[in-house]
Amino acid sequence: MAYDDRSVKPMSASLMRARIVTKILSGLYEDVPTMLTSAVRLAVELPGGKGHAGPPYPFTIGVSPAWCSGLNGAKLVASGKLDLVWLNPSIIPSMAVRGVGPFKRKHPLRALAVFPSWDRLVIAVSPRLGVRTMEELIKKKPKMKVSIAVNDCVDFAIKFLLNAHGISQKSFIKWGGRVDEVVRPSNPHRREGIVSGKLDMVIDEGMDSWGDVAVEHGMIFLSYSEPVLRKLEMFGFQRARVDGGRVAGIDEPTTVVDFSGWPIVVHKKFPDDLAYHVAGVLDKIREEIPFDAAETPSMRSLCTNTEAGPLDFPLHPGAERYYREKGYL
């Protein structure tokens, strides 16, 4: 049976149930996140015919940052095991589409939108070390306690960053130091280590969760050398500045690499009509949903390349059609 959208009441039984179930789901994630699986599976009715397998379309949304918002999420979408994910940062789908960095081949990923999430991949050191560059630090080989992130969104980037300097995480241990691995940049043990002065170095993203306290306690953010930046650019990383006011107190010119953006990513075979309407729903609910930003972004910024939301891989044609019709592109 096919429904005519014009016949659906403003608050039909189906809409009531849809709103209730999404609120129940978000409430469960808020109260007991470990009780749930990491993906939401829906069945969306699509018209049969050319380009569609016919109803229903099994539509699986990845929601957990633990296993499907980094490299694994990109691979799961490319393989068809997930249909829609938020990847963090934008460099991951960008590299996947190009088949560079951790991706050995090109993956057919497309964007429905990109949410703003300003960030940088940085190295911060204690002033006690007496260094202003990684090259100076590597020459000294000091015994240090180092805090490093270990999760699917940043592991690969830290590995590339250290390799570009000619070292690895094991180097810090060989120098007599210790590596404190944390899953999230906001781990309270990291902040405690910074405040107490027990941490000598932090290598991570998530600047908004620890950058301010690092500056307050005198840590220095190292600028990457030109040879290191060129090596990272070969993988698709974009150079970016940390100074400029985003984190108060970083005043010296400091060039690192960008780690921004939360793109909504799908396979290029994701149905055009569904992509079109997802973009339309985002337009409708934009003022109601949370963003990792100080203010609600415009629709134009959700479909174009911005500093906080890099978008240098293709939009899905269905979403692009919506944005062009509405004048956002």
Which residue, of 218, 233, 258, is where some domain finishes?
A: 258
Write out pLDDT tens, residues 92-132.
999 999 999 999 999 999 999 999 999 999 999 999 999 99
Q: Would you state the structure tokens that stand for residue 183, as one six-digit string?
A: 């899953």
**CA–CA gap between residue 41 and residue 56 (Å, rounded):** 12
Q: What is the mean pLDDT of residues 286-304?
A: 93
* β-sheet bridge partners, residue 267: 109
Q: What is the mean pLDDT of residues 230-248?
A: 92
| Statement: residue 4 has pLDDT above 50 | no
Same domain, 128 and 249: yes
**CA–CA gap between residue 323 and residue 315 (Å, rounded):** 10
pLDDT at 20: 81
Same domain, 195 and 105: no
Across 18-22, 72-76, 133-137, 244-248, least confident range: 18-22
Same domain, 113 and 134: no
Instruction: Determine how many CB atoms are found less than 10 A away from the CB of residue 50.
Output: 4
Write out pLDDT tens, residues 18-61.
778 778 777 777 777 666 656 666 666 555 545 555 555 667 88
Same domain, 310 and 240: no
> Structurally, how many domains does the chain consist of?
2
Confidence band for 304, pLDDT divided at 50, 70 and 90 = very high
pLDDT at 21: 75
CATH label of the domain that carries residue 222: 3.40.190.10
Same domain, 176 and 214: yes
Asked, for residue 315, whether it belongs to a domain, the answer is yes
Same domain, 108 and 124: no
Same domain, 254 and 124: yes
pLDDT at 194: 96
Cis peptide bond prior to 56, omega within 30° of 0: yes
**CA–CA gap between residue 320 and residue 4 (Å, rounded):** 25
Same domain, 152 and 241: yes
Asked, for residue 28, whether it belongs to a domain, the answer is no
Candidates 196, 193, 222, 200; CA nearest to 145 is: 200
Q: What is the mean pLDDT of residues 308-321?
A: 97
Q: Which domain holds residue 174?
A: 120-258
Asked, for residue 12, whether it belongs to a domain, the answer is no
Asked, for residue 22, whether it belongs to a domain, the answer is no
Q: In what order do the strands lie in the sheet with 109-115?
A: 85-86, 262-267, 109-115
pLDDT at 305: 97
Q: Would you state the structure tokens that stand for residue 13, as one six-digit string?
A: 């039984």
pLDDT at 68: 77
| Statement: residue 66 has pLDDT above 90 | no
Asked, for residue 74, whether it belongs to a domain, the answer is yes
Contacts of 76 (CB under 8 A, 6+ apart): 62, 68, 82, 85
Confidence band for 2, pLDDT divided at 50, 70 and 90 = very low
Which residue, of 258, 285, 311, is where some domain finishes?
A: 258
The answer to whether 189 and 108 have CB atoms below 8 angstroms apart is no
